[in-house]
């Protein structure tokens, strides 16, 4: 199959001077928003105790541990701004992302020991759920930096119980292990109760000499003699017990290394634990990337910096999707699937770091005359019509057959609506796409370039409507909502406006309500909002997008659950005809 992949057709046009000139403001707005996101990320990294204070106590911060653990240049953070329960700490108190350790990809997560000594807080279990799902979907190890003081007791009602509550990581770890995915834990600090289970539930346990893991910590054990209330005499007893137990807290290293033997290894210094993780990572099953490469890796022929002039910040402005994709894929080459059919959607094979991936994206702007063929109105990119839906169904089915992972790019206003659209079966074709995606069982990722809207956000590989979306990225131009705020205001208030008019009442209050609703939609669809509430897993600079694509490609081909021999691939042959 070498002739298919070594040199694929080039695509994408050079950026023109007049477009560069005309898009300076758009570029500035994109970069300004990227700077805002970077500042928010930086602020979140600094929450809690200063690093110097942690270091003074003889420990490293989670960020310092990550710095020492992860291969240089391979860290791709996720959930940086995630804080879905609006915690006052501004964080879910875990830090996670994709990174390489000893040259192998892993999903890496650690408690932020600067904040409440790494306590469980609200929203954290949702964050961990995303991380365990990610390891499961990419079929790569999960690496934990455990340093967890257990439940933030004054707020336990927010996260202790519930089907998706604080204990769910423990059975999710078990599920990963059942699927053959190892969890390697480096354990630091005091880890009582929930923290103890965080420490014990992974596959391989490596601990620092001062670490501690226990069913119940010293605080709980010393407080286990309630008299039905507190008085001074009782407190005196409590103080004595607390002093005694502080000397010899339960769950010491001497217990869990020397007696139970839970811990595989214990290290005298912090860095030793990280070296231990690296050693175990070298021992995991991982293909050399050359095993699955269909061609030598190559950077795009067209520069990533052009993206700032190609993706308009103005949501109403069209652009050429193919020109954007050409700046993200190896050598700016591709093999387009059914180019003359379903013109509102791009489908094709591309290479990322020499590995084969499927790409699907919304095209923008006016569609050729006569399309959609079932209607007497013109078609516009970003919307989905019959042929585009059929084409995406076909493409993902072929990707499933060929075991080719898929990258989706969304900028969609939705599926065409109206009587003609219903007769053209768009409702059924949209749901069919969800079914087709689910059937493929190949890993997918999504980039919401600008709009993710209506059911189209679901059916085009969105995280809401399938189990194969490993992660979703947004950009500085991303906005995600069920429909545009103005459309929603009309849908909500049109009848009321008619009633008020018929009753002879003033219309200004209705107009005000409509404006308020449109503004709320705007405010709750911004990139930072999308990241905070988990609509996306990270907002990424346009210039950094390709790095995440490479991380995805490297991760999914590291140890895939199933393989299609390259000489038995059908998609390239179907495309060639």
Partner 1 sequence: MAEEIRAPLAGNIWAVLVEAGSKVEEDDELVIIEALKMENAIFAPRAGTVSEVRVKKGDKVAEDDVLVVLE
Least distance to partner 1 from the beta carbon of 331, Å? 22
Side-chain half-sphere exposure of 570, counting CA atoms within 13 A: 10
Q: Which residue has the tokens 């501004």?
A: 90
Least distance to partner 1 from the beta carbon of 300, Å? 20
What are 378's two structure tokens?
């013109």
Among 24, 314, 519, 568, binds partner 1 (CB under 8 A): 314
Does the active-site annotation cover 305? no
Query: Near partner 1 by CB under 8 A, which window of 49-57, 316-324, 424-432, 442-450?
Result: 316-324
Contact status: 418 vs partner 1 (CB under 8 A): no
Cα(459)–Cα(469) distance, integer angstroms: 11
474: enclosing H helix or E strand = strand 469-474
Least distance to partner 1 from the beta carbon of 34, Å? 23
The smaller minimum CB distance to partner 1, of residues 220 and 380, is found at 380
Contact status: 19 vs partner 1 (CB under 8 A): yes
Contact status: 366 vs partner 1 (CB under 8 A): yes
Query: Near partner 1 by CB under 8 A, which window of 10-18, 113-121, 138-146, 567-575?
Result: 10-18
Least distance to partner 1 from the beta carbon of 316, Å? 5
Contact status: 22 vs partner 1 (CB under 8 A): yes
Could you give the string, one character per residue 214-243, with x where binding to partner 1 holds by CB under 8 A and - elsewhere? ------------------------------
Among 297, 318, 547, 560, binds partner 1 (CB under 8 A): 318
* Cis check: omega of the bond before 293, within 30 degrees of 0: no
Contact status: 507 vs partner 1 (CB under 8 A): no
- Given the residues 200, 421, 455, 465, select the one marked as catalytic: 455
Q: What is the DSSP string of 487-554?
A: HHHHHHHHHHHHHHHHTT--SHHHHHHHHHHHHHHHHTTSHHHHHHTTSSSEE--GGGHHHHHHHHHH
- Given the residues 99, 118, 194, 382, select the one marked as catalytic: 194
Nearest-CA neighbor of 186 among 228, 233, 144?
144
Cα(133)–Cα(470) distance, integer angstroms: 7
SS3 letters across 160-228:
CCCCCCCCHHHHHHHHHHHCCCCEEEEECCEEECHHHHHHHCCCEEEEECCCEEECCCHHHHCCCCCCC
* CB-CB contact of 52 with 79 (8 Å): no
Quote the Cα angle for 479-107-288, to 5°.
115
The smaller minimum CB distance to partner 1, of residues 13 and 164, is found at 13
Would you give the DSSP letter of residue 333? B
Least distance to partner 1 from the beta carbon of 365, Å? 6
Does the active-site annotation cover 465? no
The smaller minimum CB distance to partner 1, of residues 46 and 368, is found at 368
Which residues ranging from 380 to 409 are in contact with partner 1 (CB under 8 A)? 380, 382
Quote the Cα angle for 182-184-187, to 5°.
155
Contact status: 376 vs partner 1 (CB under 8 A): no
Quote the Cα angle for 196-200-202, to 5°.
135
Contact status: 18 vs partner 1 (CB under 8 A): yes
* Count of positions on this chain that bind partner 1 (CB under 8 A): 17
Contact status: 16 vs partner 1 (CB under 8 A): yes
Which residues pair with residue 250 across a beta bridge? Answer: none
Does the active-site annotation cover 415? yes
What are 166's two structure tokens?
């604080």
Contact status: 562 vs partner 1 (CB under 8 A): no
Does the active-site annotation cover 48? no
Contact status: 174 vs partner 1 (CB under 8 A): no
The smaller minimum CB distance to partner 1, of residues 343 and 554, is found at 343
Contact status: 370 vs partner 1 (CB under 8 A): no
Phi then psi dihedrals of residue 412, to 5 deg: -130, 140
| Four-point Cα dihedral 183, 188, 193, 195, nearest 10 | -50
Least distance to partner 1 from the beta carbon of 370, Å? 11
Least distance to partner 1 from the beta carbon of 13, Å? 7
Contact status: 13 vs partner 1 (CB under 8 A): yes
Least distance to partner 1 from the beta carbon of 124, Å? 40
Residues that bind partner 1 (CB under 8 A): 13, 16, 18-19, 22, 314, 316-318, 364-366, 369, 378, 380, 382, 413
């Amino acid at each position: 199959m070498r002739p298919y992949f070594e040199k694929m057709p080039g695509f994408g046009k050079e950026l023109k001077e007049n477009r560069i000139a005309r898009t300076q403001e758009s570029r500035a707005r994109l970069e300004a928003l990227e700077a805002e996101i970077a500042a928010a990320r930086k602020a979140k990294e600094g929450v809690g105790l200063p690093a110097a204070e942690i270091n003074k106590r003889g420990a490293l911060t989670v960020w310092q541990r990550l710095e020492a653990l992860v291969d240089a240049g391979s860290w791709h953070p996720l959930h940086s701004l995630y804080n879905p329960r609006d915690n006052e700490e501004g964080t879910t108190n875990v830090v996670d992302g994709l990174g390489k350790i000893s040259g192998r990809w892993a999903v890496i997560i650690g408690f932020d020991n600067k904040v409440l000594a790494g306590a469980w807080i609200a929203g954290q279990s949702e964050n961990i759920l995303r991380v365990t799902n990610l390891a499961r979907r990419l079929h790569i190890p999960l690496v934990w930096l455990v340093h967890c003081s257990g439940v933030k007791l004054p707020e336990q009602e927010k996260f202790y119980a519930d089907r998706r509550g604080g204990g769910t990581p423990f059975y999710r770890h078990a599920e990963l292990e059942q699927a053959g995915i190892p969890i390697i834990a480096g354990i630091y600090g005091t880890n009582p109760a929930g923290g103890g289970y965080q420490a014990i539930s992974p596959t391989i346990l490596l601990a620092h000499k001062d670490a501690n893991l226990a069913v119940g910590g010293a605080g709980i054990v010393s407080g286990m003699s309630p008299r039905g209330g507190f008085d001074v005499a009782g407190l005196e007893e409590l103080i004595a017990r607390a002093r005694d137990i502080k000397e010899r807290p339960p769950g010491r290293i001497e217990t869990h290394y020397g007696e139970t033997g839970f811990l595989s290894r214990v290290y005298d210094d912090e860095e030793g634990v990280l070296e231990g993780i690296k050693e175990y990572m070298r021992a995991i099953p991982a293909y050399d990337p050359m095993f699955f490469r269909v061609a030598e890796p190559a950077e795009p022929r067209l520069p990533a910096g052009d993206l700032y002039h190609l993706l308009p910040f103005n949501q109403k402005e069209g652009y050429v999707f193919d020109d954007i994709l050409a700046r993200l894929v190896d050598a700016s080459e591709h093999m387009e699937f059914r180019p003359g059919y379903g013109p509102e959607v791009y489908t094709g094979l591309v290479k990322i770091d020499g590995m084969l991936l499927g790409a699907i994206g919304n095209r923008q702007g006016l569609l050729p005359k006569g399309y959609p063929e079932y209607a007497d109105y013109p078609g516009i990119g970003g919307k989905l019509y019959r042929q585009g839906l059929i084409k995406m169904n076909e493409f993902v089915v072929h990707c499933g057959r060929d075991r080719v992972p898929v990258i989706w790019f969304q900028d969609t206003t939705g599926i065409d609506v109206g009587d003609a659209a219903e007769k053209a079966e768009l409702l059924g074709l949209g749901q069919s796409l969800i079914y087709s995606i689910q059937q493929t069982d190949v890993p997918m990722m999504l980039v919401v370039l600008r709009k993710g809207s209506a059911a189209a956000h679901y059916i085009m590989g969105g995280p809401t409507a399938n189990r194969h979306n490993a992660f979703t990225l947004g950009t500085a131009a991303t906005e995600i909502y069920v429909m545009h705020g103005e459309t929603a205001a009309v849908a909500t208030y049109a009848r009321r406006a008619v009633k008020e008019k018929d009753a002879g009442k003033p219309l200004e209050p209705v107009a005000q309500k409509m404006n308020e609703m449109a503004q709320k939609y705007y405010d709750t669809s911004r990139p930072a909002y999308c990241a905070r509430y988990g609509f996306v897993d990270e907002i990424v600079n346009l210039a950094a997008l390709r790095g995440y694509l490479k991380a995805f490609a490297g991760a999914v081909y590291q140890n895939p659950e199933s393989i299609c021999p390259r000489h038995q691939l059908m998609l390239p042959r179907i495309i060639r005809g």
